């Protein structure tokens, strides 16, 4: 397949043809979670968006090095430079080691991501494991003259940087204006300017997460880890940097400034940002009472939820929107997604059961091409889903005996469904959980039991017939007796 993938580059504000730096290889960096609480809805969208990208790039034949970091130091409460470290605070309250807090929530994040069928990244570096590299990076910025030491801390000199480069280009902020209006407000601070941000922060005596450095015992600023680890694992120039749109300012703006200051050039070719999730039209926030963790969604244990929603329903729901549009969570919308996913799953399992005919009475050609075109248009997953649903109509027509498909058409349809539904959209279908061999042995065994039950019924051996039915029901099977055949599924 020829690569015609276009992606929307936040930096240039237009869709661009994706051309990797190195032929056949892609470097992808995505800002990962800060691990001081349970994973919530806000974590699901970037994870699924960039999982879709990761899967699609691999489908296009690229060898992808996907780096998704773990922020476990330097994420402060009020803003990037002030307040308690969120992880240290949690550790103090719960009387744990900070790394116990990190590990606990990281384990739960990984569990949730696995349930959402999000593939693990190639490298998952911790900020706390790269303190030496971060100190080296600060030294490079100091050497180039774009940072200054003040009272044991090191700050990035935004004004100086902005004289040569353009600070604010990603988020579209006019920094000249901001510099002028905020100039007078800064008398008390150890920073030269409000907009300067910390590269290294001297630790207060009570601060437990601290490391020695040439400037003070302290810790790195939050933005620094991504510049440092991106450079370390993907090189001084790499292809794609992703994250939630809320990270464009200050986090990604500061990353660009740091990398450009240290390296003398920009490092990222394409900046990609997923839009936000709202809940019943509101931004999600603890103070609004609409903060829903993934575990609560999966179990239905939240006062806003009318029921539990499966991880695949959440994944399908998120993929029903293109990643740059907002998504609003409501029970109605999730229930609609649940039904849609059920229809897709049912259609898929019917597709696997269809018998080929000599010729096709329905036109199912071109589905693959249409789905590829939609994906290549900035990962337009809702259009892919629409094409698949269009094809479901043909599948159901054949299933109902009102149309035919040739062996070639049937095989192509099965291939395309497996590729787009399972491999690229990453939706686990009921019949896809086991490997093919396991699944067919399993199906054979259940069919065998049901045929023994049919024989028992024919022999009026009601005890055996009931026992098979009841025991299967207890194991979670749903058995539907039709006129001349028995259908079964798993609850
Ligand atoms: Zn980051």
| CA of 30 relative to ligand 1 center, distance in Å | 7
Stretch 127-156: mean pLDDT: 97
Q: Are 101 and 91 in contact (CB under 8 A)?
A: yes
| CA of 223 relative to ligand 1 center, distance in Å | 6
| CA of 480 relative to ligand 1 center, distance in Å | 52
| SS3 readout for the chain | CCCCCEEEECCCCEEEECCCCECCEEEEEECCCECCCCCEHHHHHHHHHHHHHHHHHHHCCCEEEEEECEECCCCECCCCCCCCEHHHHHHHHHCCCHHHHHHHHHHHHHHHHHHCCCCCCCECCEHHHHHHHHHHHHHHHHHHCCEEEECCEEEECHHHHHHHCCCCCCCCCCHHHHHHHHHHHHCCCCCCCCCCCEEEEECCCCCCCCECCCCCCEEECCCHHHHHHHHHHHCCCEEEEEEEHHHHHHHHHHHHHHHHHHHCCCCEEEEEEECCEEECCEECCHHHCCCCEHHHHHHCCCCCCCCCCCHHHHHHHHHCCCCCCCEEECHHHHHHHHHHHHHHHHHHHHHHHCCCECCCCCCCCCHHHHHHHHHHECCCHHHHHHHHHHHHHHHHHHHCCCCCCEHHHHHHHHHHHHHHHHHHCCCCCHHHCCCHHHHHHHHHHHHHHHHHHHHHHHCCCHHHHHHHHHHHHHCCEEEEECCCCEEEEEC
Question: What does the pLDDT look like over 379-406, one tens digit per residue?
Answer: 999 999 999 999 999 999 999 999 999 9
pLDDT of residue 438: 66
Among 164-178, 180-194, 430-444, top mean pLDDT goes to: 164-178
Residue 467 has which token pair? 């026992």
Question: What does the pLDDT look like over 217-226, one tens digit per residue?
Answer: 999 999 999 9
Question: What does the pLDDT look like over 205-214, one tens digit per residue?
Answer: 888 889 999 9
Count CB neighbours of 49 within 10 A. 27
| CA of 109 relative to ligand 1 center, distance in Å | 17
Average pLDDT across the chain, whole number:
91
Among 220, 269, 224, 278, which residue's Cα sits nearest to residue 242?
269
Question: What does the pLDDT look like over 236-283, one tens digit per residue?
Answer: 999 999 999 999 999 999 999 999 999 999 999 999 999 999 998 888
| CA of 251 relative to ligand 1 center, distance in Å | 6
Residue 236 has which token pair? 């001084």
| CA of 241 relative to ligand 1 center, distance in Å | 9
| CA of 278 relative to ligand 1 center, distance in Å | 22
| CA of 383 relative to ligand 1 center, distance in Å | 30
| CA of 46 relative to ligand 1 center, distance in Å | 12
| CA of 193 relative to ligand 1 center, distance in Å | 23
| CA of 32 relative to ligand 1 center, distance in Å | 7
Among 207, 205, 192, which residue's Cα sits nearest to residue 155?
192
Among 193, 197, 183, which residue's Cα sits nearest to residue 81?
197
Stretch 114-128: mean pLDDT: 97
**pLDDT score of 433 more than 70:** no
pLDDT of residue 490: 80
| CA of 146 relative to ligand 1 center, distance in Å | 20
| CA of 242 relative to ligand 1 center, distance in Å | 9
- What whole-number distance in Å separates Cα of residue 292 and Cα of residue 284? 8
| CA of 177 relative to ligand 1 center, distance in Å | 26
pLDDT of residue 434: 46
| CA of 357 relative to ligand 1 center, distance in Å | 54
Domain residue spans of the chain? 6-274, 282-432, 436-490
| CA of 227 relative to ligand 1 center, distance in Å | 8
| CA of 14 relative to ligand 1 center, distance in Å | 22
| CA of 395 relative to ligand 1 center, distance in Å | 44
Stretch 467-476: mean pLDDT: 88
pLDDT of residue 432: 52
Q: How far from 472 is each of 445, 463, 469, CA to CA, in Å? A: 12, 14, 5
Q: Are 371 and 457 in contact (CB under 8 A)?
A: no
| CA of 331 relative to ligand 1 center, distance in Å | 32
| CA of 197 relative to ligand 1 center, distance in Å | 15
| CA of 225 relative to ligand 1 center, distance in Å | 7
pLDDT of residue 161: 96
| CA of 388 relative to ligand 1 center, distance in Å | 35
| CA of 41 relative to ligand 1 center, distance in Å | 18
| CA of 110 relative to ligand 1 center, distance in Å | 18
| CA of 216 relative to ligand 1 center, distance in Å | 24
128 in the Ramachandran plot: left (φ > 0), alpha (ψ -120 to 50) or beta?
alpha
Report, at the CATH architecture level, how domain 282-432 is classified.
Orthogonal Bundle (1.10)
pLDDT band at 318 (very low <50, low <70, confident <90, very high): very high
| CA of 443 relative to ligand 1 center, distance in Å | 46
| CA of 152 relative to ligand 1 center, distance in Å | 24
| CA of 226 relative to ligand 1 center, distance in Å | 5
pLDDT of residue 435: 52
Ranking 73-82, 177-186, 427-436 by mean pLDDT, the lowest is: 177-186
Fold of 6-274: Rossmann fold (3.40.50)
- Give percent of the chain with pLDDT exceeding 70: 93
| CA of 70 relative to ligand 1 center, distance in Å | 9
């Amino acid at each position: 397949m020829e690569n015609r993938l276009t992606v929307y580059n936040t930096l240039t504000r237009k869709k661009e043809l994706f051309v990797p730096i190195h032929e056949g290889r892609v470097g992808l960096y995505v800002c990962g979670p800060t691990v001081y609480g349970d994973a919530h809805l806000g974590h699901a969208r970037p994870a699924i968006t960039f999982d879709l990208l990761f899967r699609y790039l691999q489908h296009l034949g690229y060898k992808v090095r996907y780096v998704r970091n773990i922020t476990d130091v330097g994420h402060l409460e009020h803003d990037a430079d002030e307040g308690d470290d969120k992880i240290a605070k949690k550790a103090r309250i719960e009387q744990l080691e900070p790394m116990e807090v990190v590990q606990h929530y990281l384990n739960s994040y990984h569990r949730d991501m696995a349930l959402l069928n999000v593939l693990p990244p190639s490298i998952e570096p911790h900020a706390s494991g790269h303190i030496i590299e971060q100190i080296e990076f600060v030294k490079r910025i100091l050497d180039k003259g774009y940072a200054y030491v003040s009272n044991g801390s090191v700050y990035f000199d935004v004004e100086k940087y902005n004289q040569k480069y353009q600070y604010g280009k990603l988020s579209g902020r006019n920094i000249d204006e901001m510099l002028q209006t905020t100039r007078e407000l800064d008398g008390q601070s150890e920073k030269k300017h409000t907009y300067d941000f910390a590269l290294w922060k001297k630790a207060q005596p009570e601060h437990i997460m601290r490391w020695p450095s040439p400037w003070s015992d302290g810790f790195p600023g939050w933005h620094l880890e991504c510049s440092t680890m991106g450079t370390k694992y993907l090189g001084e120039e790499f292809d794609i940097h992703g994250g939630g749109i809320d990270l464009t300012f200050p986090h990604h703006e500061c990353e660009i400034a740091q990398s450009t200051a240290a390296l003398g050039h920009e490092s990222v070719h394409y900046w990609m940002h997923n839009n936000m999730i709202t809940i019943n039209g509101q931004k999600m926030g603890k103070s609004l009472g609409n903060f829903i963790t993934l575990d609560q969604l999966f179990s239905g244990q939240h006062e806003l939820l009318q029921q539990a929603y499966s991880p695949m329903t959440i994944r399908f729901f998120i993929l029903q929107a293109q990643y740059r549009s907002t998504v609003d969570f409501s029970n109605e919308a999730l229930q609609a997604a649940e039904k849609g996913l059920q229809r897709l799953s049912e259609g898929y399992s019917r597709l696997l059961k269809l018998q080929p005919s000599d010729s096709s009475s329905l036109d199912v050609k071109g589905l693959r091409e249409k789905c590829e075109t939609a994906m290549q248009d900035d990962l337009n997953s809702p259009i892919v889903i629409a094409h698949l649903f269009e094809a479901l109509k043909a599948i159901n027509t054949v299933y109902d005996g009102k149309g035919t498909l040739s062996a070639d058409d049937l095989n192509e349809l099965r291939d395309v469904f497996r590729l787009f539904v399972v491999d690229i959209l990453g939706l686990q279908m009921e019949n896809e959980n086991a490997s093919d061999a396991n699944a067919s042995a399993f199906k054979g065994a259940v069919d065998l039991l049901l045929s023994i039950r049919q024989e028992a019924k024919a022999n009026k051996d009601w005890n055996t017939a009931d026992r098979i039915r009841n025991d299967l029901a207890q194991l979670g099977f749903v058995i539907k007796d039709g006129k001349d055949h028995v259908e079964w599924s798993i609850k």
